[in-house]
Amino acid sequence: MKKILSAFVIIIACSFGLHAQQPEGKFFTSFDGTKIHYEVKGNGYPVILVHGFTGTSQGWKHGSLYPALLTAGYKVIILDQRGNGLSDKPHTDAGYANDAEAKDIMGLASNLGFKNYDVVGYSRGSIITSRLIVLDKRIHKAVMGGMGADYTNPQWSRRIHAYKALMGDTTMHDVDDMMVWIRKNNFDNLALAYQQKHQPSTSKKELSTVKIPVLLIDGTEDTTNGDVTDLQKLIPGSKMVNVPGNHNTAGNTVQFASAIIDFLK
């Protein structure tokens, strides 16, 4: 479990996470007054990219997908989810409960005037994307990378242990590596704790009603978030593609970007 949690943490930095940020882009005021930082670049059909746990919008710029989408002629939207990056970091349960993160994205899409859009999530970003595909009828296609079916369990032990550790419980040793990383980078522990406490768990019944095209992408060496084939069975008509790499590296690969570009065409 410790090895798995280490991968869970490293993805934050290596793929979609910690990079020096400049105050670029704009801020959108969400449904509850929380300010969400976002950037829009390019023209064409909109694609919103959703980062993982403790990540930021800027992490996407260091992988292959972001430039590939721009080259392919898409309008690319990246955002810092609440509690991360340059966005506000509420310190209340209400700040993260009841699909607050998904509502931020839906509100941003409305603010930008999107009648339809595609969405790509990776790791925890796929958990939020899962909520979007059952809540927002404007989504045309969705991609979920680095995520198996474990998140559909409301009592997922990793989520619970992460929350307890972030709240000061020192007995959750399976998340020691995560806590070392968070302390090292001086992240906002309480904001992260609320993200784990209120992390949504889309039910199998909800997933069975999904009618839009969904692509699941799995690194060939990724054993972090459960079996992707199990998730594929839950989403009618979904497709699965394997790309090289583990949870830390698969999302940055050219193959990851190529599979998504082919799927979104």
Give pLDDT tens digits for 131-170: 999 999 999 999 999 999 999 999 999 999 999 999 999 9
Most confident of 13-22, 220-229, 230-239: 230-239
Is the distance from CB of 231 to CB of 148 less than 8 angstroms?
A: yes
Check whether 130 has a pLDDT greater than 70: yes
The Cα 13–Cα 32 span in angstroms is: 29
Over residues 103-117, the pLDDT tens digits come to 999 999 999 999 999
Please identify which residue in the block is written with the tokens 């406490």.
197
Grouping H, G, I as helix, E, B as strand and the rest as coil, residue 155 is coil
Q: Which residues contact 46 (CB under 8 A, 6 or more apart)?
A: 74, 75, 76, 77, 109, 112, 114, 117, 118
200, HSE (Cβ side, Cα atoms, 13 Å): 24
Q: What are phi and psi of 249, to 5 degrees?
A: -115, -25
CA dist., res. 163 & res. 156, Å (int): 11
- Say whether pLDDT at 1 is over 80: no
Asked if the model's pLDDT at residue 75 lies above 80, the reply is yes
Q: Is the pTM of this model over 0.85?
A: yes
Query: Which pLDDT band holds residue 223 (cuts at 50, 70, 90)?
Result: confident
Name the band, by pLDDT with cuts 50, 70 and 90, for residue 38.
very high
Q: What is the mean pLDDT of residues 82-95?
A: 98
The pair of three-digit structure tokens given for residue 101, joined into one six-digit string: 């993160």
pLDDT over threshold 60, residue 9: no
Collapsed DSSP state (helix, strand, coil) of residue 256 = helix
**Residue whose C-alpha is closest to residue 200's, from 232, 152, 236:** 152
- Phi, psi of 35, deg, nearest 5: -90, 125
Largest pairwise CA distance in the chain: 50
Q: How many angstroms separate the CA atoms of 188 and 121, rounded?
A: 22
If 0-12 CB within 10 Å is exposed, 13-18 middle and 19+ buried, where does residue 211 land?
A: exposed
Res. 4: pLDDT tops 70:
no
pLDDT computed for residue 169 by the predictor: 96
Calculate the CA 79 to chain-centre distance: 11
- What band does 61 get if pLDDT is binned at 50, 70 and 90? very high
**Contact, 193 vs 167, CB < 8 A?**
yes
Q: What is the pLDDT of residue 46?
A: 98
Question: Is the pLDDT assigned to residue 14 strictly greater than 60?
Answer: no
> What count of residues does the chain have?
265
